[in-house]
Structure 1
Amino acid sequence: MFDFFKKKPPVPEPPPASTTPQPLAGRKGHIGGIEALTLDGTLYFFGFDFRSDLVVSPLIPDAALMARFAAEHMEQRDGVHDETYWRELVGYAVDNSELCSDETSRSFDSQALAAAIASLGRVQREGTPEPGFAIEYHLRYLLGAAGGWEVPEEAGDEDADAWIRLIAGAAPVPEGVSLSDVAARLQRHLNALVDAAPGNWATLFAVLKS
């Protein structure tokens, strides 16, 4: 009759939440490797599926955490591997890339990107070229791969490199083509790339939007 006085067994605590980042858009179990880029002096790692042309992880600024992510969520052609194995691949990615051999093309500066977007806005308003204008191809490629290549057709990239050459004055503007319209279309394309990119890819490169 006095059972309610008995000490009840403790309620088990839930397991601690994992601190490992989650794959982008459910891209778990992809076969791939480790790549890296530098933004504003910080080195970020990310997982990449070369066969599918997809970024599979957020940008991760910690080598050990990148290795843990890969051990939990990625594979190699011969199967899964532990963190020690992946740590070697993370180390290799510091100075090497299977996607882009030019180190300068893997390094970005937010202020320089913001200045480029400001220049693009001027071209939209004034319709005159901006010598030296550039938005690195590798950055546009990575944002597309992070977003799963889901850029709307009307903001497609089939002519993005040609648009950039026109805006920079590196190629003559075809008759009947408005440079203001070219600049506006490139900006729509950049907006779409950032909008489609999940996780911190969008937040870290939000400067490309206007």
Structure 2
Amino acid sequence: MNDIKPIADREGHVGGIESMMVDGRRWFFGFDYSMDTAVSPLIDDRARMAEFASRYMLQTDGPHDVAYWRDLVDSAVGTSGIVAEDEDRTYDSETLAAQRLTPSTQLMYLMGAATAWDDSFLEDEAVQATLATIGVRERDRDDWDCLDQCIAATRSANAEVSTAATHLMTRYQRFIFDNLPANWPEVFAALRPS
């Protein structure tokens, strides 16, 4: 079995297993629920996911063997700790491409978790200025939830606001794609900026 390497700085996290479908293919990944962070590459084989978790992930009571993790991997097919509805963890390339600039809340959450919530995007002065143009309150400009307001602003009747929001979401799309770890960019290739 080829060794799958952990994402840099995400080895040894306490977490569980999540799964999702992308273009009809099931992918598993480790997830640290306390940090809202994906902690593994995307793995499309149950046995390999269990092996990865036994080597690089922990539970609150410490490490566990492959059989223990295999039960969690199998459970991740039918249940999720991060979404309520199964359709919120099912993606296809056509829809992903169509929603590049207006991603669903769940997709934005997943991409944020995959990139470990790298705040450098929101800290950028140009992004802060654009958020002000869109009308995001100053106290909300350092919170990833402000992007919901940006998505809504892409449809604004005010040309300056809609242009600014579209520019910001294009920049967000590039930032996220450039910061996806491990094999996440390959699996989510439909999000690649055009």
Structure 2 counterpart of 1:159, one-letter code: C
Contact 1:46-1:66 at 8 Å conserved across structures:
yes
What is the TM-score with the length of structure 1 in the denominator?
0.76
Asked if 1:98 corresponds to 2:81, the answer is yes
In structure 2, the partner of 1:110 is 93
Letter in 2 for 1:35: E
Structure 1 unaligned residues grouped into runs of 5+: 1-17, 121-133
Partner of 2:41: 58
Residues 115 and 176 of structure 1: CA distance in aligned 2, closer, same or farther (over 3 Å): closer
| 1:52-88 CA-partner distances (Å, limit 9, x unpaired) | 2211100100011000000011110111111110111
Within the candidate set 139, 142, 148, 2:107 is matched to: 139
Structure 2 counterpart of 1:164, one-letter code: I
Separation of aligned partners in 2, 1:160 and 1:63: 34
> In structure 2, how many angstroms separate the alpha carbons of the residues matched to 1:104 and 1:158?
21
Shifted more, 199-208 versus 183-192: the winner is 199-208
What is the correspondence of 1:1-210 to structure 2 with a 5 Å cutoff?
19-117=2-100, 120=101, 134-150=102-118, 151-153=120-122, 154=124, 155=127, 157-167=144-154, 169=155, 173=156, 177-208=160-191, 209-210=193-194
Q: Deviations over 1:110-160 (max 9, x none)?
A: 11222334xx5xxxxxxxxxxxxx412222212222212115223574421
Q: Select between 140-149 and 88-97 the one with higher mean Cα deviation.
A: 140-149
- Do the aligned residues in 2 keep the contact of 1:37 with 1:107 (CA within 8 Å)? yes
3-state DSSP class of the match of 1:26? coil
Deviation at 1:199, TM superposition (A): 1.2
**Aligned residues of 1:46 and 1:57 also touching (Cα < 8 A):** yes
Report the Cα distance in structure 1 between the residues aligned to 2:9 and 2:161, rounded to whole angstroms. Answer: 41
Q: 1:204 Cα shift? A: 2.0
1:178 to partner: Cα distance:
2.5
Query: Structure 2 CA distance, aligned partners of 1:32 and 1:50?
Result: 6
Deviation of 1:22 (Å):
1.2
Any gaps of 5 or more consecutive residues in structure 2? 128-141
Q: Report if aligned partners of 1:144, 1:197 keep a CA contact under 8 Å in 2.
A: no
Q: Return the alpha-carbon distance in structure 2 between the equivalents of residues 140 and 205 of structure 1.
A: 13
TM score, norm. by length of structure 2? 0.81
Alignment-mate amino acid for residue 74 of structure 1? M
Aligned residue identity for 1:101: A
Please say if residues 153 and 161 of structure 2, whose CA atoms lie closer than 8 Å, have aligned partners that are also in contact: no
Q: Contact 1:23–1:57 at 8 Å: present in 2 too?
A: yes
Identity %: 39
In the comparison of the two structures, how many residue pairs are matched? 174
Report the aligned-residue RMSD. Answer: 2.0
